[in-house]
Chains A and B, each alone.
Chain A
Amino acid sequence: MSADHTMAGHGLAPRSGGGVIHDIGYRSYEGERLSRGRIVLALCWHSLRSAFGIGRGVKAKIVPVLTFAIMCLPAVVDAVVVNRTGTRQVSYDTYTPAIRILVMIVFLAAQAPELVSRDLRSHVLPLYFARPISRLDYPLAKLTAFILACLAMIEIPLLILYLGTIAQAHGGSAIWSETKALIPGLLVGLMWSVLLASIALAIASLTGRRAYATGGIAIFFLLTLTLGRILIRVSIQSAAIHGAVGLGPVGHPPPAAQFYALISPFTVLDGVRQWLGGATKLSGPGTIGSPGSYGPLFGVMLLVFLGASLAILAARYRKVGIS
């Protein structure tokens, strides 16, 4: 059937519907051509949409919508609570750490493969590289898109929290102090987005098998987090037994605990946050409290994670897709 259409050549082409359409013949394109930068931007926008399943089927939207809703929940609840108590319960710079970490792991593991593994799986990369964009434009666009997607996941709940709070605030000074508290929170969110998106995309770019990519990302983040927490707890306990360091609830943990905190990107992010002046301290088992004088070390480790991820991405896309 389709063969007939092609054979029809110019003139009147028969159509399966029974009617005829007029074949106007080939028309060349005389219009505007986008620059390389704007093609990369188009790819970035396309990828950002696909990170939330937009333009894809219903199934592709389940995880992003669900994770986003869960992420917003504490902010919405807080907005309601503020109405009664008059004070905000959730801090901007840590938000709700347990929920944020878990939800972000799910989001990263589910959506990073959507951006890069699909293209690897279907061998579509040669088609991109046969177009005007250059080799590293592709990972650049994908990374930018995924960072923006993570930003939306992290910052929009903060903005909901902010709006919910200032709706109850009285007077300009209250609003101003609320805004001053928000800004560091947004910056922490930016730091999270850049690091987490880079790591997740680097892992996802290693395989075209979506299940492996999702598993790899989830295992990396969960394993490092759990391992780090266990080791921190063990080292704090053993230090307490040996009585080497006095331990208060937010006292300085032993140096070994600080090193163990460098294992997981999440504890690194929190260490850097506090080093850069974040006031809220996390407590509970497996947390180091404050990085103290080890702050710069956390900063270095963040750059190591980031650098390694970018290097993997660049190396991967320099080679892949031409064979």
Chain B
Amino acid sequence: MTVHSSPLNPGTLSAGGPAAAVIETTALTKRYPGPVTALDGLTVAVEPGITGLVGSNGAGKSTLIKVLLGLLPPTSGQAKVLGRDCASEASQIRTLTGYMPEHDCLPPDVSATEFVTHLGRMSGLPATAAKERAAETLRHVGLYEERYRQIGTYSTGMKQRVKLAQALVGDPRLLLLDEPTNGLDPAGRATMLELIARIGGEFGIAVVVASHLLGEVEQICDHLVAIDGGRLLRAASMSSFTQASQVLAIEVEEGTDRLAAELARRGLQPVAQQRELLVRLAGEDTFDTVRDAIADLGLPLNRMEQRRHRVEELFRGDQAPAADPEGAAHVS
């Protein structure tokens, strides 16, 4: 990844080699009065690149981000961002970090240019630099002539991009994105994910994407951190997840039983789930085997879809993700 040499560059990113952690938490706990435990002894290290922070709603993703930014004090434990302590060096962390909140945070009656310029200044850029970077950043997120219009007239997709632009304008070393695809249609989601992938790859900025949709973040992530109930379920690189989790779902108009028997005969161990058959996807051969089986039986094929398990299935227990179709069969 690109190593930047701004005066505020912590040096820890490059000093420790590519594996140096961008975020490190140790037994991090946050309890709200209530008592609600949002983070429960969370110990995790996040490496440079794009990291998916996945978990269901209420798993503690947003709380973790706020603690990392120094907006919430942890009840106990420690957190470090870019080698700096979240409790004592929050201001420095916030200089080096861009934050895109989950909820709407844009005033309707100013233009994107004015808004991002102002927030660039709030990130510590001098007036001229803020203007230049606002224009550049808005261009990077794909807002051109529209940027002079009032934000109130924007579509949801454009608003999400303004939110991303304001996080990016201060040239952060780390981006914390909270549910960046919230409220977007499928095309908008794809565009946003593409943009995030580009920021993490081409721009060389470490990115943490919090999402409750594993299927989405897994497309762009290098690493995954899964939390549930404020605890770490699993943290690993993306490749170690995908190997074991690929499933092929097959739906035929009729003769599901005959196909199941035929697939079993060919050694695929199919599992029925509602109207579908699930087989473990071992490689390209699996596609051929399934295709041949259907063709030989002359069955009308409705659908054949490559799929991954949902978060809960992947991270169930401390074991390796439920790789066999039997695991999937219990779901639903």
> How does the 8 Å CB contact mask read for A1-24 relative to B, with 1 for contact and 0 for none?
011011101100001110000010
Q: What is the interface of chain B, defined by CB distance below 8 A to chain A?
A: 2, 4-8, 66, 69, 71-72, 91-92, 94-95, 97, 99, 101, 103-109, 114, 118-119, 121-127, 129, 133, 136, 139-146, 157-158, 161, 166, 170-171, 187-188, 191, 194-195, 198-199, 202-204
Contacts of A122 in B (CB 8 A): 104-108
Chain A residues closer than 8 Å to B143, beta-carbon distance:
2
Given A29-B171, A126-B101, decide whether A39 and B72 contact each other with a Cβ distance below 8 A.
no
Is B142 a contact of A3 with CB atoms below 8 Å? yes
A2-B101 contact given A26-B203, A46-B121, A322-B71, CB 8 Å threshold: no
Q: Complex: how many Å from CA A17 to CA B129?
A: 26
Q: Which of A66-74, A131-139, A178-186, A306-314 contacts B (4 or more CB under 8 A)?
A: A131-139
Complex CA distance for A31 and B5, rounded to whole angstroms = 11
Report the interface size for chain A: residues with CB under 8 A from the other chain: 46
A residues with a Cβ closer than 8 A to B are 2-3, 5-7, 9-10, 15-17, 23, 25-36, 39, 42-43, 46, 55-57, 118-119, 121-124, 126-134, 322
Would you give 8 A-B contacts (Cβ < 8 Å), ordered by A?
A2-B158, A5-B144, A10-B202, A27-B136, A29-B125, A39-B124, A130-B99, A132-B94
Also in contact, A130 and B97, with CB within 8 A (given A28-B4, A322-B72)? yes
CA distance A5 to B146 in the complex (A): 12
Residue numbers in A under 8 Å from B136 (CB-CB): 27
Apart from the given pairs A28-B4, A32-B129, 15 other A-B contacts in the complex at a CB distance below 8 Å: A6-B161, A9-B198, A27-B136, A33-B95, A34-B124, A39-B123, A55-B114, A56-B109, A122-B107, A124-B107, A127-B99, A127-B122, A130-B99, A131-B170, A132-B92
Do B123 and A132 have beta carbons less than 8 Å apart?
Answer: yes
CA distance A5 to B108 in the complex (A): 24
- Contacts between the two chains (Cβ within 8 Å), count: 134
Contact A33:B7 (CB < 8 A) given known A15-B144, A128-B122: yes
Q: What's the Cα separation between A26 and B161 when bound, in Å?
A: 16
CA distance A132 to B122 in the complex (A): 8
Assembly CA distance A263 to B198 (angstroms): 61
Are A33 and B125 CB-contacts (below 8 A) given A2-B146, A3-B191, A122-B106?
yes
B194 touches A7 (CB 8 A): yes
- Do residues A39 and B121 form an inter-chain contact, with CB atoms below 8 A? yes
Bound complex: CA A62 to CA B3 (Å): 50
Report how far A119 CA is from B187 CA in the complex, Å: 31
Q: In the complex, how many angstroms separate the beta carbon of A136 from the nearest chain B beta carbon? A: 13
CB pair A29–B72 under 8 Å, yes or no, is no
| A39-B122 contact, Cβ under 8 Å, with A2-B143, A26-B203, A122-B105 | yes
Bound-complex Cα distance A28 to B168 (A): 10
Nearest neighbor of B115 in chain A, beta-carbon distance: A124
Which residue of chain A has its CB nearest to the CB of B3? A28
- In whole angstroms, how far apart are the Cα atoms of A133 and B119 in the complex? 12
